[in-house]
């Protein structure tokens, strides 16, 4: 939970953490009195005692995969970071890495674009267009339920490094191919999110990355020899 302010929301999320067997609750720079939140956590007040009060950069460092939650979908194709995956796929995506977390934004303004960009995928809950914003406690209940479904399935096994290398290799291939700058600007974000939501393993991602790098090297070789072709 990023900069939570409401003790009721924090207490209710603590209960959900215990309900669904979540291993750890991160509180990123909380603006709330945890002793008050503990009242609303009821028998799950121990979750708040064990909660990790930290920074977003540390959460990023400690997790192979982060899934941002948002009520604001992309309105333009170029807004890659707010293109969402279905909550029905949360278990599959979160269980693909050894350490993964759902990220909930501020009670009032949600997550910033930069925070969403630091995540590997984004999800949202479909609600009526007239009022798209769900209370954090309600949203957490729905998403944690969906994330817990199918627990115990086979782990796909792709890590952050393989995804980032894939994204970088895809960007470099596009750049070497002469794709216009305005089209490659968001390509690293696209690649990272393709990899995070795919069913590919580390080995498969690394294989594709290797092919991309070899293609780049092949395209650059004539220039190294001074060829005019």
Q: Give the structural domain span for 171.
A: 160-224
Look up the CATH number of the domain holding residue 123.
3.40.1280.10
Residues 172 and 143 in one domain: no
List Cβ neighbours of 22 (8 Å cut-off, separation of 6 or more).
16, 144
Q: Tokens 């708040």 appear where?
A: 48
CB 16 within 8 A of CB 143: no
Between 72 and 27, the more confident residue is 27
Average pLDDT, the chain: 90
* Cβ proximity of 10 and 40 under 8 Å: yes
What is the spatial distance between Cα 111 and Cα 115, in angstroms, rounded to a whole number? 6
The answer to whether residue 89 is domain-embedded is yes
Q: Is the pLDDT of residue 118 over 50?
A: yes
| Single residue among 88, 120, 148 that ends a domain in this structure | 148
Q: Could you tell me which residue, 73 or 2, shows the higher pLDDT?
A: 2
SS3 assignment, position 94 = helix
Residue 182 within a domain: yes
Q: What are the pLDDT digits (tens) for 193-209?
A: 999 998 888 999 999 99
Q: Is 223 exposed, middle or buried (0-12, 13-18, 19+ CB in 10 A)?
A: exposed
DSSP code at position 185? T
Split into its structural domains, the chain has a count of 2
Tell whether 132 and 58 lie within a shared domain.
yes
Q: Are residues 180 and 217 in the same domain?
A: yes
Assess whether 49 and 144 both reside in one domain. Answer: yes
Global pTM reads: 0.87
Domain boundary residue, one of 148, 177, 201: 148
Domain boundary among 148, 175, 195: 148
Number of helices (H), then strands (E), belonging to the chain: the values are 11, 5
Regarding whether 208 and 124 lie in a shared domain, the answer is no
Query: Is there a single domain that holds both residue 91 and residue 184?
Result: no
Q: HSE-up of 140 (CA within 13 Å, CB side)?
A: 25
128 and 179 share one domain: no
């Amino acid at each position: 939970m990023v900069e939570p302010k409401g003790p009721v929301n924090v207490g209710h999320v603590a209960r959900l953490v215990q309900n669904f067997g979540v291993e750890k609750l991160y509180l990123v720079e909380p603006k709330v009195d945890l002793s008050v939140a503990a009242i609303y956590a009821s028998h799950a007040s121990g979750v708040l005692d064990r909660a990790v009060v930290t920074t977003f950069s540390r959460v990023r460092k400690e997790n192979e995969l982060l899934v941002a939650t948002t009520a604001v979908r992309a309105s333009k194709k170029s807004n890659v970071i707010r293109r969402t995956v279905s909550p029905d796929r949360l278990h599959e995506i979160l269980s693909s890495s050894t350490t993964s977390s759902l990220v909930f934004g501020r009670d009032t303004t949600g997550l910033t674009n930069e925070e969403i960009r630091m995540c590997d995928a984004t999800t949202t809950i479909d609600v009526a267009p007239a009022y798209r914003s769900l209370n954090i406690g309600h949203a957490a209940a729905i998403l944690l339920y969906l994330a817990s479904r199918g627990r115990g399935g086979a782990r796909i096994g792709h890590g952050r490094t393989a995804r980032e290398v894939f994204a970088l290799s895809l960007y470099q291939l596009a750049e070497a191919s002469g794709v216009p700058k305005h089209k490659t600007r968001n390509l690293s974000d696209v690649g990272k999110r393709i990899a995070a939501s795919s069913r590919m393993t580390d080995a498969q991602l690394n294989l594709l990355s290797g092919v991309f790098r070899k293609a780049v090297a092949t395209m650059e070789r004539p220039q190294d020899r001074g060829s005019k072709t």
